[in-house]
């Protein structure tokens, strides 16, 4: 795997760089397999990327009819709820593009039973990626954010979702938020062709330093679990989040 860490001035420069990575991944996937399968992220940082991708000069470079949109995780709310990751991605990205409903695969977090929602999404992935038992999906790209305590996707510190039990998607109780979430597991992220973290804000600086430069303690810092085995890992961070890093590094690890 190759890991690239880039410190950029602000969220808009992160979005600019991320758009180039997104378009490269899309074009390469379509050239090789005729389809681009991407998992979108929740939170607020990706909004700038969405705005960029849906406008020129990027818009006309994306193979819109050959894209399949998935989600890395979801909050336990219906799709029209203000906290829904699907709602955010739909409002800032999907609804502004020619992507058709049949190209979008969302997590059914409106279900009361989050285990059912997780199993349902696992089935969706198994079907769409035509997986045999034991196989993992290979996304062309997964977008991820990071919380200021080192969580990514909905893989929170100290939660059962961090255990590798062969599942692609799990429900997870996040005590500190007094809620459940549904999330793809680390092995799914690690089987993808590329993972792109977009991280902004000074509150994330200590956790980012610990994730990248501290001891390997993924129970504390779940973002450390993300290491695509045969893919590229990108950290695009703003100068506030990257403020404690010893240096921006590029290269193979």
Q: Which residues bind ligand 6PG (CB under 6 A)?
A: 41-45, 73, 75, 85, 145-147, 151-154
CB of 239 to ligand 6PG, least distance (A): 16
CB nearer to ligand 6PG: give 43 or 231.
43
Rg of the chain, C-alpha, whole Å: 17
CB nearer to ligand 6PG: give 12 or 28.
12
CB nearer to ligand 6PG: give 68 or 183.
183
CB of 26 to ligand 6PG, least distance (A): 21
CB nearer to ligand 6PG: give 152 or 191.
152
CB of 153 to ligand 6PG, least distance (A): 5
What's the full length of the chain, in residues?
253
Query: In this structure, are residues 84 and 107 in contact, taking their beta carbons and an 8 Å threshold?
Result: no
CB nearer to ligand 6PG: give 83 or 120.
83
Tell which residue, 25, 104, 88, has the closest CA to residue 61: 25
Tokens representing 239?
């100068």
- d(C-alpha 123, C-alpha 48), whole Å: 31
CB nearer to ligand 6PG: give 182 or 245.
182
Query: In this structure, are residues 89 and 44 in contact, taking their beta carbons and an 8 Å threshold?
Result: no
Query: Could you tell me whether strands 73-75 and 179-184 are parallel, antiparallel, or unpaired per DSSP bridges?
Result: antiparallel
Burial class from Cβ neighbours inside 10 Å (0-12, 13-18, 19+) for residue 165 reads exposed
Strand order through the sheet with 232-238: 67-71, 36-40, 141-144, 194-199, 232-238, 2-8, 250-252
């Amino acid at each position: 795997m190759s890991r690239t860490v880039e410190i950029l001035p602000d969220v808009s420069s992160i979005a600019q760089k991320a758009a180039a990575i997104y378009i490269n991944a899309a074009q390469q996937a379509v050239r090789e397999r005729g389809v681009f399968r991407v998992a979108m992220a929740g939170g607020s940082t990706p909004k700038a990327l969405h705005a960029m991708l849906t406008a020129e000069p990027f818009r006309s470079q994306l193979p819109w009819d050959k894209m399949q949109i998935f989600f890395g995780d979801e909050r336990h709310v219906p799709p029209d709820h203000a906290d829904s990751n699907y709602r955010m991605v739909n409002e800032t990205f999907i609804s502004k593009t020619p992507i058709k409903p049949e190209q979008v695969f969302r997590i059914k977090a409106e279900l009361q039973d989050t285990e059912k929602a997780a199993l349902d999404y696992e089935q969706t992935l198994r079907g769409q990626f035509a997986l045999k038992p034991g196989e993992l999906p290979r996304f062309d790209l997964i977008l991820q954010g990071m919380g200021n305590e080192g969580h990514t996707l909905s893989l929170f510190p100290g939660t059962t979702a961090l255990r590798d039990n062969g599942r692609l998607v799990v429900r997870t109780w996040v005590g500190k938020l007094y809620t459940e979430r549904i999330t793809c597991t680390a092995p799914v992220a690690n089987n993808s062709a590329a993972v792109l973290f977009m991280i902004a804000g000074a509150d994330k600086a200590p956790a980012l330093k610990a994730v990248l430069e501290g001891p390997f303690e993924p129970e504390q810092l779940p973002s450390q679990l993300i290491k695509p085995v045969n893919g590229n890992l990108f950290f695009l961070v703003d100068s506030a989040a990257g403020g404690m890093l010893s240096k921006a590094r590029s290269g193979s690890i």
